[in-house]
Every structure is written in structure tokens, then in C-alpha cells.
Structure 1
């Protein structure tokens, strides 16, 4: 079972903004090759940071208002939300190492 949760406009506030832990949002599309290639790294990160950082997926075609609200112009775009505010943003196919370097400083309540 995947630890990656799909969020929608209806559940975004609960899933992301009101989360007690930081949340990495993966803005993606089903037709996006780099998005698909990033999935194994995202699943590994979700397991490694379980309970410390949540990872949610937003399909930009299903949820265009969320993509617009966060200025997403290409996929994949990753935005880390902490205390309701974006604190990290990066784009393009990602690796396990890149995810670790972005997420580790925000895991476990570290500043």
C-alpha cells in the first residue's frame, strides 16, 4: 500500500494546510514521463519520513485551481508546506537523494 495520498480541492485544507507535520505536494499529470519516473523516489521518501513529513499528490488536470493557486506552470513541481506556508519549491524529475536533501532539514521538528 502506498503512503502517497491523493489530495483534492475539497480535502486540501485538512490534508495540507492543517497538517501537524510538513507536507510535500507533488503536482503531477498522468501523461508526464518525469512524474512517473519520480514515483519510486517519492514512495521511498514517504516510507523513510513516515510520521515526520507527509507526501501528497495533486493531479493538475483534476485540480487546476490548486495548481493555479501555487503558480504551477510545469510538472512535476514539488512544494513543501510547513505551518501553512511554502518553504521549499523545486521542479523536474527528482531522485531519492534530492528528496532527502530537501526533506531532512524539516523532519522531526528540526528547523
Structure 2
């Protein structure tokens, strides 16, 4: 059963940029209310897309260099990385269905 996992600054390259699966990165902060509100939808999507897309979260306060390198100006910001490249990017709280549509598009492109 897939879960949303926390990725650290030291593991970001290996876990995200070099992943064989597309990875949706949730750039968040502990103090961010909308970030917390996204938790249940992301957990559900991690299970639904298990084996097709990984979903991870990165705390911008714990990994400021990664956040800066990806131009994160607000949280939550979601960046979909495929093959080490940004495939999609969107900011703010999102509906589960909007994120699912973006993930569906990436999964279809991999097929």
C-alpha cells in the first residue's frame, strides 16, 4: 500500500530526480493550513496511483535550498517530476479530481 512519504533534502536527488516513476512533490510547510488540508486527498491518490506515480512531500523550511532551486514562492506548490524534468506545476490547494486528472495525463503518456 503506497503512502505519501516525506523526502529529505539529502535524498531529493535519488528519490525524486532519479526516480523511474513520475513523482508528484508536495512542497509544504508545517504552519500552512491549506497544506494540511491537502493531506487526505494526497494519501488517497498515493494509494490509487500506487506503482504508477509516487507522491512525496518536502518541508520547505527543512529544505530551503531545494525549494529555492524549484522556485517555490508559496505553499502548497505541487511539482510533477518525470525523468528528472518538470512535467507539471501548480500552486494552492487543489481538488482531488484536478490532481487526479494531471496524474492521469502523466500515466497515459508513460503507456
> Smaller-chain TM-score range?
over 0.9
2:73 is aligned to 73
Partner in structure 1 of residue 46 of structure 2: 46
User: Is contact 1:27–1:76 with CA below 8 Å preserved after alignment?
Assistant: yes
**Alignment match, 1:27:** 27
The Cα offsets for residues 61-88 of structure 1, whole Å up to 9 and x where unpaired, read as 0000010000000000000000100010
Residues 3-43 of structure 1 deviation map (CA, whole Å, 9 limit, x = unaligned): 11111121011110111110000000011010011111101
1 CA distance for matches of 2:53 and 2:73? 24
Aligned to 1:55: 55
Aligned residue pairs: how many? 110
User: Which residue in 1 is equivalent to 2:98?
Assistant: 98
CA RMSD of aligned residues (A): 1.3
SS of residue in 2 equivalent to 1:73: coil
Q: Distance in 1 between matches of 2:74 and 2:13?
A: 23
Unaligned runs of 5+ in 2: none
Aligned 8 A contact 1:41 1:94 in 2: no
Separation in structure 1 between the aligned mates of residue 15 and residue 76 of structure 2, nearest angstrom? 19
